[in-house]
Amino acid sequence: MLVVVASAFVPRWWAHRIGDLSNESFTRGILAGLVLGFVCTFLPLLLAWVGIRRFRSWRGKFLVVLAAVLLAAPNLLTLSVVLGSGNAAHAGDRTLDVEAPGFRGASLAGALAAAALVAAPIYLLWKRRRTAQAA
Protein backbone atom coordinates (compact mmCIF):
# COMPACT_ATOMS: atom_id res chain seq x y z
CA MET A 1 0.00 0.00 0.00
CA LEU A 2 2.75 2.45 0.98
CA VAL A 3 4.72 1.67 -2.20
CA VAL A 4 1.69 2.42 -4.37
CA VAL A 5 1.09 5.74 -2.63
CA ALA A 6 4.80 6.65 -2.84
CA SER A 7 5.03 5.76 -6.53
CA ALA A 8 2.05 8.01 -7.23
CA PHE A 9 3.41 10.93 -5.20
CA VAL A 10 7.20 10.97 -4.96
CA PRO A 11 8.26 11.49 -8.62
CA ARG A 12 5.84 14.37 -9.06
CA TRP A 13 6.88 15.91 -5.73
CA TRP A 14 10.61 15.60 -6.54
CA ALA A 15 10.16 17.17 -9.98
CA HIS A 16 8.38 20.14 -8.42
CA ARG A 17 11.15 20.59 -5.81
CA ILE A 18 13.78 20.62 -8.56
CA GLY A 19 11.58 22.92 -10.63
CA ASP A 20 11.33 25.33 -7.71
CA LEU A 21 15.11 25.20 -7.32
CA SER A 22 15.75 25.82 -11.02
CA ASN A 23 12.99 28.39 -11.54
CA GLU A 24 12.69 27.68 -15.29
CA SER A 25 16.30 28.70 -15.94
CA PHE A 26 18.69 26.64 -18.06
CA THR A 27 21.66 27.88 -16.05
CA ARG A 28 20.10 27.03 -12.69
CA GLY A 29 18.81 23.70 -13.98
CA ILE A 30 22.21 22.68 -15.31
CA LEU A 31 24.05 23.91 -12.21
CA ALA A 32 21.62 22.13 -9.87
CA GLY A 33 21.94 18.94 -11.92
CA LEU A 34 25.73 19.03 -11.93
CA VAL A 35 25.98 19.71 -8.20
CA LEU A 36 23.36 17.16 -7.13
CA GLY A 37 24.60 14.55 -9.58
CA PHE A 38 28.22 14.95 -8.50
CA VAL A 39 27.78 15.27 -4.74
CA CYS A 40 25.10 12.60 -4.44
CA THR A 41 27.30 10.14 -6.32
CA PHE A 42 30.75 11.04 -5.01
CA LEU A 43 29.90 10.97 -1.30
CA PRO A 44 27.95 7.66 -1.33
CA LEU A 45 30.61 5.88 -3.40
CA LEU A 46 33.41 7.19 -1.21
CA LEU A 47 31.51 6.28 1.97
CA ALA A 48 30.74 2.79 0.67
CA TRP A 49 34.33 2.15 -0.42
CA VAL A 50 35.90 3.33 2.83
CA GLY A 51 33.18 1.94 5.09
CA ILE A 52 33.05 -1.54 3.61
CA ARG A 53 36.82 -1.85 3.81
CA ARG A 54 36.91 -0.59 7.41
CA PHE A 55 34.07 -2.58 9.00
CA ARG A 56 34.48 -6.31 9.52
CA SER A 57 30.97 -7.17 10.69
CA TRP A 58 28.01 -7.56 8.37
CA ARG A 59 26.01 -5.18 10.55
CA GLY A 60 28.60 -2.43 10.12
CA LYS A 61 28.78 -3.00 6.37
CA PHE A 62 24.98 -2.95 6.14
CA LEU A 63 24.79 0.36 8.01
CA VAL A 64 27.42 1.89 5.75
CA VAL A 65 25.56 0.79 2.63
CA LEU A 66 22.29 2.10 4.10
CA ALA A 67 23.91 5.49 4.78
CA ALA A 68 25.31 5.52 1.22
CA VAL A 69 21.85 4.85 -0.22
CA LEU A 70 20.41 7.69 1.87
CA LEU A 71 23.12 10.04 0.58
CA ALA A 72 22.32 8.95 -2.97
CA ALA A 73 18.58 9.57 -2.50
CA PRO A 74 18.41 12.68 -4.73
CA ASN A 75 19.93 10.74 -7.62
CA LEU A 76 17.57 7.85 -6.99
CA LEU A 77 14.60 10.20 -6.93
CA THR A 78 15.69 11.73 -10.25
CA LEU A 79 16.08 8.23 -11.63
CA SER A 80 12.52 7.40 -10.53
CA VAL A 81 11.28 10.35 -12.58
CA VAL A 82 13.37 9.57 -15.64
CA LEU A 83 12.91 5.79 -15.77
CA GLY A 84 9.49 5.51 -14.14
CA SER A 85 6.57 4.28 -16.19
CA GLY A 86 3.67 5.49 -14.05
CA ASN A 87 1.55 8.60 -14.42
CA ALA A 88 3.45 10.41 -11.66
CA ALA A 89 6.78 9.74 -13.38
CA HIS A 90 5.43 11.05 -16.68
CA ALA A 91 4.05 14.13 -14.96
CA GLY A 92 7.39 14.64 -13.23
CA ASP A 93 9.16 14.23 -16.55
CA ARG A 94 7.05 16.96 -18.12
CA THR A 95 7.60 19.17 -15.06
CA LEU A 96 11.37 18.80 -15.37
CA ASP A 97 11.14 19.64 -19.08
CA VAL A 98 9.41 22.93 -18.34
CA GLU A 99 10.63 24.01 -14.91
CA ALA A 100 14.16 22.56 -14.80
CA PRO A 101 15.55 22.42 -18.33
CA GLY A 102 18.94 20.76 -18.54
CA PHE A 103 18.70 19.20 -15.08
CA ARG A 104 18.47 15.55 -16.14
CA GLY A 105 21.43 15.61 -18.51
CA ALA A 106 23.57 17.65 -16.13
CA SER A 107 22.71 15.31 -13.28
CA LEU A 108 23.90 12.37 -15.37
CA ALA A 109 27.09 14.22 -16.32
CA GLY A 110 27.80 15.05 -12.67
CA ALA A 111 27.17 11.46 -11.60
CA LEU A 112 29.49 10.07 -14.30
CA ALA A 113 32.23 12.55 -13.37
CA ALA A 114 31.95 11.61 -9.69
CA ALA A 115 32.00 7.89 -10.47
CA ALA A 116 35.14 8.36 -12.59
CA LEU A 117 36.77 10.42 -9.84
CA VAL A 118 36.15 7.66 -7.30
CA ALA A 119 36.96 4.79 -9.65
CA ALA A 120 40.31 6.14 -10.88
CA PRO A 121 42.20 5.97 -7.55
CA ILE A 122 40.59 2.63 -6.71
CA TYR A 123 41.79 1.22 -10.03
CA LEU A 124 45.27 2.68 -9.57
CA LEU A 125 45.56 1.19 -6.07
CA TRP A 126 44.35 -2.18 -7.34
CA LYS A 127 46.81 -2.09 -10.25
CA ARG A 128 49.66 -1.12 -7.91
CA ARG A 129 48.93 -4.02 -5.56
CA ARG A 130 48.64 -6.43 -8.44
CA THR A 131 51.97 -5.30 -9.90
CA ALA A 132 53.68 -5.51 -6.49
CA GLN A 133 52.41 -9.07 -5.99
CA ALA A 134 53.66 -10.15 -9.41
CA ALA A 135 57.16 -8.86 -8.73
Q: DSSP letters along 45-62, please? A: HHHHHHHHHH--SHHHHH
pTM of the model: 0.88
Strand, coil or helix: 23: coil
- In the prediction, which pLDDT does 4 show? 81
Residue 119 binned pLDDT confidence (cut-offs 50, 70, 90)? very high
Please state the length of the chain: 135
pLDDT in tens, 25-78: 999 999 999 999 999 999 999 999 999 889 889 999 999 999 999 999 999 999
- What residue spans define the domains of the chain? 2-129
The DSSP annotation for 63-121 comes to HHHHHHHHHTHHHHHHHHHHH--SHHHHHHHHHHHHHSTTHHHHHHHHHHHHHHHHHHH
Best CA proximity match to 27, nearest among 97, 101, 78, 93:
101
Residue 7 binned pLDDT confidence (cut-offs 50, 70, 90)? confident
Best CA proximity match to 100, nearest among 36, 15, 35, 39:
15
| Mean pLDDT, the chain, integer | 93
